[in-house]
A and B are shown apart, each in its own frame.
Chain A
Amino acid sequence: MTATLTETARPVPVARGYRFELVKLFSAWRIRVLVVACWLAPALFVAVVSEQSSLPVDTLFGRWMNATGWAGPLVMLGFAGTYALPLLTSVVAGDVFASEDRLGTWRHLLVAVRSTRRIFVAKALASLTVIFVLVAGMAVSGAVGGVLAAGSRPLAGLDGHLLAPGDAAVRVLLAWVCVFAPTLALGAIGLLGSVLWGRSPMGLLLPAVVALVLALAQLLPLPVAVRLALPSYAFIAWNGLFTDPAQLGPLLIAVGVSLGWAVLATALAYLLFVRRDFTNPARDGGGRRALTLGVLPLVALLAATAGVVAVATPATGSGIGLDKVQRSVATAFAHLYRLQAGQLNRPDVTEEQLAATAACTKGDGLVEPEGPGNDWRCVVSWHLPGIAATGSAIYQLDITSDGRYVADGDGPKEVNGYFQVRTPAGDQPNPLWQFDGNVELLTTTKG
């Protein structure tokens, strides 16, 4: 007998699988609601808040929201890094595999596509696309809302220097691009959770839970090497784009770490997925062994990254030292003094002429001037051309463990007290009254 051999059916190309996954994702009402929300809500929020007299001053760049439209998307970025992006990645990447378990459609999909590898790639790319659409929506919407409400005006950076509107726009864009890296890491963790836990809600919640744990970790007085090894540090490190010169070292390390996590978590999810037995009715997730295989490599990556950063960079301890604080406060003060002079129609004076310096103590000098705390006190001194006397002003600093601080003017009130100044954008608080700044945890730039 001669058999008539039939060719094995070829797997479906990834491009078709990708389109199929996009159709499924965008057919879900929750994804459509998220897309609309991400493209509209930030614009509305920024536009409304920018018109208020009471601004969200406890959020970075919040105090500048009615001065320039470029502060709005940065306020949104701060909010997104803490809350929105973990939740978005949970809903999209955390559910992209689990939804097939919930609907009981795995076997149907496997018969149709004929390749677990291609299914994985198509699903990963489709969820990445949706996450990109959501993140891009938040960035664009926040920027449009801000510019429409407050105009495209110069933005004061974290060291007080003014960024021209075009420069501010580019840096806002770069900041959102950089934040896409930790978002990818959370997305990959979502894929991993979705593969590991199947239809269990744990898979859906994993990115949000991991993001919460990482956010809490950033609040702790961790050694700087460990802080930079966390995949969420890029949610903070984008601040360095708004100093002059930009603090690129920590940002590049943070982006690299985030991408490393994204690659490793995706690879782990892939390995677990292609090894899954879809005919065993007793298993929809990976089981305890898979859990170990999925989690241990990420813990090892964290430890290895912390070790490499500790060895390769000069940073030790918290990264917040006396010299850095004094330099940061003096620099920001000089830039903002110049801004204030312009707003008060006083003669222009350069930062070099001011030659501002700061002398800081912590805990009234009773403790070592190192690390975070709200007990920092700085006396800033400066000179004006043609005046022999040295000006001085006092600031109370609240420095958080990630290096950000709020400097609160403590006199003299003519210099750093609260009063309104007239600006092209309307009346604004005295820029020297309260300002945000940051201490670069790694000393990689000279400023």
Chain B
Amino acid sequence: MMDTPAAVRARGITKCFGDVVALDGIDLDVAPGGIHGLVGPNGAGKTTLLGLLLSLAVADEGRLEILGTPVGKTLSAPGGVAGFVDGPGLYPSLTARQNLAALAALRGGDRRTAKIDDVLGEVGLTDVADDRVRGFSLGMRQRLGLAAALLTEPRLLVLDEPANGLDPAGKKHVHGVLGRLAAGGTTVVLSSHRMDDLEALCSEVTILSTGRVVFTGPLGKLSAENGELDHRLRTSDPEAARPLVAGAPGIRLAEGDADAFVVRALVPALDELVLRLAKEGIAVRELAPVVSPLEAAFLALTEQPEAGR
């Protein structure tokens, strides 16, 4: 019986640029058919790692397998790997359609207009298909870059900051496309600074800091490991709720005003608090993290001073 290999399997990957250590012995496993987020502060090594996945470069040390194939030299990634780093590569003197047609012809793949129209429609660029890319906004370029990657029907899609410059409609298109790809079995590895995007999209995340992996795994595991978080609590009767909140076990009242409180607690303590409030006839109108679990973990693990707790 054949096992499905990991989409990405990295062991001890180190990459240096002169004296600068961009990646320092990282291990990474990306399971096939999901969306894997890559986060980290500027200079953490995200783009370098994505470049290795596209085999634009090779690691100085360590072993990297992509779609089950060891990658030992530059530009030797297996077929089915697509994506972009540092923004999509587009030619401004060509229209969106011409960019895709030229790329399709280059790869010797499907040059049919229908296929190109399909991917343009998927990313929401049908209306501007015959406009020159010179006039495109950053968000439109990002979507066209994604369309270019979709043309190849990838099995591993590597995207560097694909949400940059997207308006809400564009974001909806992109999220929809990525979700459908993942549902269809394509593995997506993407980097982003938008924690809300990552939480909405990703099943797993890897947090990089100064070239090292400080966390990798499912988002749920991150929340569980994250400890107490600040939550904003708004109830139907703040005055009555205040003594209950202050006296609840495992709950610390961080701050509050006439309408809402900020409480610091683990998830089980919060569950208990909600039950007690309900029992006293106080409705909970809002209970949400002040900072998302991913963002809090990011800030904590990467030692940002304004960690959200």
Flag if B75 contacts A107 (CB, 8 Å). Answer: no
Flag whether B68 is at the interface (Cβ < 8 A): yes
Cα separation A281 to B105 with both chains bound (whole Å): 29
Flag if A115 contacts B17 (CB, 8 Å). Answer: no
Cα separation A428 to B93 with both chains bound (whole Å): 51
| A3-B5, A3-B68, A16-B106 known; A8 vs B54 contact (CB < 8 Å) | no
Contact partner, A9, options B3, B79, B85, Cβ 8 Å:
B79
Contact partner, B69, options A6, A11, A114, Cβ 8 Å:
A6
A residues near B145, Cβ cutoff 8 Å:
108
Tally of contact residues, A, Cβ under 8 A: 42
Q: Contact string, A274-287, partner B, CB cutoff 8 A, digits 1/0?
A: 00011111100000
Cα separation A110 to B75 with both chains bound (whole Å): 7
Flag if B91 contacts A105 (CB, 8 Å). Answer: yes
| A9-B81, A27-B94 known; A4 vs B2 contact (CB < 8 Å) | yes
Flag whether B206 is at the interface (Cβ < 8 A): no
Cα separation A364 to B162 with both chains bound (whole Å): 81
Flag if A24 contacts B106 (CB, 8 Å). Answer: no
Flag if A104 contacts B94 (CB, 8 Å). Answer: no
Among A5, A9, A28, A277, residue most surrounded by chain B Cβ atoms (within 10 Å): A9
B residues near A1, Cβ cutoff 8 Å:
3
B residues near A280, Cβ cutoff 8 Å:
17
Flag if A9 contacts B86 (CB, 8 Å). Answer: no
Flag whether B67 is at the interface (Cβ < 8 A): yes
A residues near B94, Cβ cutoff 8 Å:
23-24, 27
Q: Contact string, B262-290, partner A, CB cutoff 8 A, digits 1/0?
A: 00000000000000000000000000000
Flag whether B56 is at the interface (Cβ < 8 A): yes
Flag whether A106 is at the interface (Cβ < 8 A): yes
| A5-B68, A11-B75 known; A110 vs B93 contact (CB < 8 Å) | no
Which residues in window 25-68 of B have CB below 8 A to A?
47-48, 51, 54, 56-57, 65, 67-68
| A4-B5, A107-B85, A113-B106 known; A279 vs B57 contact (CB < 8 Å) | yes
Flag whether A20 is at the interface (Cβ < 8 A): yes
B residues near A7, Cβ cutoff 8 Å:
69, 78-79
- Distance in angstroms from B72 CB to nearest chain A CB is 10
Which residues in window 75-96 of B have CB below 8 A to A?
75-94
Contact partner, B102, options A13, A20, A114, Cβ 8 Å:
A20
Flag if B93 contacts A105 (CB, 8 Å). Answer: no
A residues near B67, Cβ cutoff 8 Å:
6
A residues near B79, Cβ cutoff 8 Å:
6-10
Flag whether B108 is at the interface (Cβ < 8 A): yes
Flag if A6 contacts B78 (CB, 8 Å). Answer: yes
Flag if A279 contacts B48 (CB, 8 Å). Answer: yes
- Distance in angstroms from B217 CB to nearest chain A CB is 20
Contact partner, B93, options A27, A106, A278, Cβ 8 Å:
A27
Cα separation A278 to B56 with both chains bound (whole Å): 7
| A17-B106, A20-B105, A279-B57 known; A28 vs B3 contact (CB < 8 Å) | no
Chain B residue with the shortest CB-CB distance to A122: B106
Flag if A6 contacts B68 (CB, 8 Å). Answer: yes
Q: Contact string, B89-116, partner A, CB cutoff 8 A, digits 1/0?
A: 1111110001000110111100000000
| A4-B5, A8-B78 known; A16 vs B85 contact (CB < 8 Å) | no
Among A5, A28, A107, A277, residue most surrounded by chain B Cβ atoms (within 10 Å): A107
Flag whether A103 is at the interface (Cβ < 8 A): yes
Chain A residue with the shortest CB-CB distance to B93: A27
B residues near A23, Cβ cutoff 8 Å:
94, 98, 102, 105
| A4-B5, A5-B69, A279-B57 known; A20 vs B106 contact (CB < 8 Å) | yes
Given A20-B102, A107-B86, output 15 extra A-B contacts at Cβ < 8 Å. A4-B3, A6-B68, A6-B69, A6-B80, A8-B69, A8-B76, A13-B108, A23-B102, A103-B91, A107-B89, A108-B88, A108-B90, A110-B56, A111-B56, A114-B75
Top-7 shortest CB links A-B: A108-B89, A105-B89, A9-B79, A6-B78, A279-B57, A27-B93, A20-B106
Q: Can you give 29 contacting A-B residue pairs, CB < 8 Å? A: A2-B3, A3-B3, A4-B2, A5-B69, A6-B68, A6-B78, A8-B76, A8-B77, A8-B79, A9-B80, A12-B108, A16-B107, A16-B108, A20-B103, A20-B105, A24-B91, A27-B94, A29-B93, A105-B91, A107-B54, A107-B86, A107-B89, A108-B90, A110-B56, A111-B75, A111-B83, A278-B57, A279-B56, A281-B86
